[in-house]
């Protein structure tokens, strides 16, 4: 039997982590509409595939709640509130994820060079494979975004896209899940 690459996402050990996509800071992000659109696609796809989703809010007292359309897509999930930039400081999140047998994390969020980057580097240090959805993360400035993407890639993050992530998780075409996700990515 042909062996598949271990870096290809596997729905049995993957989770989605959405970092701090909050309205009060979203408006000043580069390509903010694209970040929201692609994050929503990932949420919808992960729900179809029944894959765990987590989301954080950075200091919601000051930065407000998660952007409304994303929050609506997350329906019954509750935000994990944090004060630390890295999600490693978001309570017991890393241990909870690890305890569920999850080893591959798909990451979206803002800001790419602050909370996203620190979280990604901490996830890598804790033995997770990180798949960064480059079209679902952003910073206020392009240089911060580009520099953070390069740095995260240099230290082991798999930089990919929303559509690539969803099709990796599907593995095959011709299923009901494939039909539903194909409609999402169009």
Cis peptide before 111 (omega within 30 of 0): yes
Give the per-residue pLDDT at 37. 97
Smallest CA-to-CA distance from 85 within 56, 106, 105, 107 is with 56
Q: What is the pTM of this model?
A: 0.96
Query: Three-state SS for 149?
Result: helix
For 38, phi then psi, to 5°, come to -70, -35
CATH 3.10.20.30 fits 12-175, yes or no: no
Query: Three-state SS for 66?
Result: strand
CB 104 within 8 A of CB 60: no
- Within 9-157, strands assigned E span 14-19, 53-58, 80-82, 104-110, 129-138
CB 128 within 8 A of CB 156: no
Euclidean distance between CA atoms 19 and 54, whole angstroms: 9
Euclidean distance between CA atoms 185 and 164, whole angstroms: 10
> Which letter does DSSP use for residue 113 in this model?
I
Q: Which residues of the chain have pLDDT under 50?
A: none
- Within the chain, strands assigned E span 14-19, 53-58, 80-82, 104-110, 129-138, 158-160
């Amino acid at each position: 039997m042909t062996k598949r690459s271990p870096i290809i996402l596997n729905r049995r050990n993957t989770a989605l982590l959405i970092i701090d996509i909050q309205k009060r800071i979203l408006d000043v992000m580069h390509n903010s509409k694209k970040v929201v659109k692609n994050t929503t696609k990932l949420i919808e796809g992960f729900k179809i595939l029944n894959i765990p989703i987590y989301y954080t809010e950075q200091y919601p007292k000051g930065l407000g709640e998660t952007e409304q359309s994303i929050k609506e897509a997350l329906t019954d999930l509750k935000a994990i509130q944090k004060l630390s930039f890295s999600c490693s400081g978001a309570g017991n999140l890393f241990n909870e994820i690890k305890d569920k047998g999850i080893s591959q994390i798909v990451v979206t969020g803002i800001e790419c060079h602050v909370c996203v980057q620190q979280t990604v580097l901490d996830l890598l240090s804790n033995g997770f494979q990180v798949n960064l959805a480059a079209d679902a993360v952003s910073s206020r400035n392009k240089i911060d975004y580009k520099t953070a993407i390069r740095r995260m890639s240099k230290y082991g993050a798999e930089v990919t896209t929303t559509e690539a992530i969803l099709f990796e998780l599907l593995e095959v075409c011709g299923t009901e899940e494939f039909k539903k996700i194909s409609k999402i990515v169009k």
